[in-house]
Amino acid sequence: MLTHRKRAAHGFTLLEVLVVAAVICVLVGVLFAVLGAAREAAARTTCTNQLRQLATAVDMYRQQHGALPPHSYLGTRSTGEAEMITWQEILRPHVGPEDVFLCPSDPDTPPMSEQPVWDGRCWMYSSSYEYRQGLLQQERVYKPREDPEQEEMRKEDLRKANAAARHDILFICNYHDSGPRRAYNEKVRPRRYLLAHGDGSVTWEPLPDGL
């Protein structure tokens, strides 16, 4: 009884205050971690959709021009200044007005409204994504032939071509899975990458050997 009255008179003990403060700190930490993870999950979903659009745009370009878009070529502006025409500009007509070249988790690349940027030699657009120009040279449309043996071979060729296309990487995003804090230009090698493939699929996996 006596202790109770004493405590009521003095409010909380120092120990109680410290314990409560520690608990609040832990809860806030957990909350931030959860919010950060949720934000990153949403960013990855957006990024996946963008990469899918870009892979589709490459396919549209390929159908129109019979070849993959070049990575870049040097042009000249009306002002006489050099301009690097990069794949972003080449693909722009195929992706609509949406800005699909920036990963939401990319802290470095300027928004498209602030592009192109002068890099000291020429004007150029940049993107969060690395364009790999996969090799989509094989015809992937199956056309039946009369000779059954030849048809078997063609089916096998088609299966191989589709398997190759599946691993044919067009775009890479490396802004995910490298820890929550990314300092400017910090070289952190992510464990997994978002990869856009030649068949339009996007996967979340470690980079295959040799890339």
Where do contacts with Zn ion occur on this chain (CB under 5 A)? 47, 103, 173, 175
Name the strand (E) or helix (H) holding 94: helix 87-95
Q: Which is nearer to Zn ion, 87 or 175 (CB)?
A: 175
Q: Which is nearer to Zn ion, 173 or 202 (CB)?
A: 173
109: tokens are 């690349």
Q: How far is the CB of 51 from Zn ion (least distance, A)?
A: 7
Q: How far is the CB of 147 from Zn ion (least distance, A)?
A: 47
Q: Which is nearer to Zn ion, 136 or 202 (CB)?
A: 202
Q: How far is the CB of 205 from Zn ion (least distance, A)?
A: 14
Per DSSP, what are the bridge partners of residue 117? 124
Q: Which is nearer to Zn ion, 104 or 200 (CB)?
A: 104
Sign of CA dihedral 153, 155, 156, 162: positive
CA 66 to CA 41: how far, in whole Å?
A: 36
Q: Which is nearer to Zn ion, 47 or 100 (CB)?
A: 47
29: tokens are 């930490």
Q: How far is the CB of 9 from Zn ion (least distance, A)?
A: 59
Q: Which is nearer to Zn ion, 44 or 198 (CB)?
A: 44
**How buried is 58 (Cβ within 10 angstroms: 0-12 exposed, 13-18 middle, 19+ buried)?**
buried
Residue type, 47: C
Per DSSP, what are the bridge partners of residue 171? 131, 196
Q: How far is the CB of 180 from Zn ion (least distance, A)?
A: 15
193: tokens are 């990458």
For residue 162, give every residue at least 6 positions away whose Cβ sits within 8 Å of its Cβ, in sequence order, or none: 140, 199
Q: How far is the CB of 128 from Zn ion (least distance, A)?
A: 6
16: tokens are 């109680």
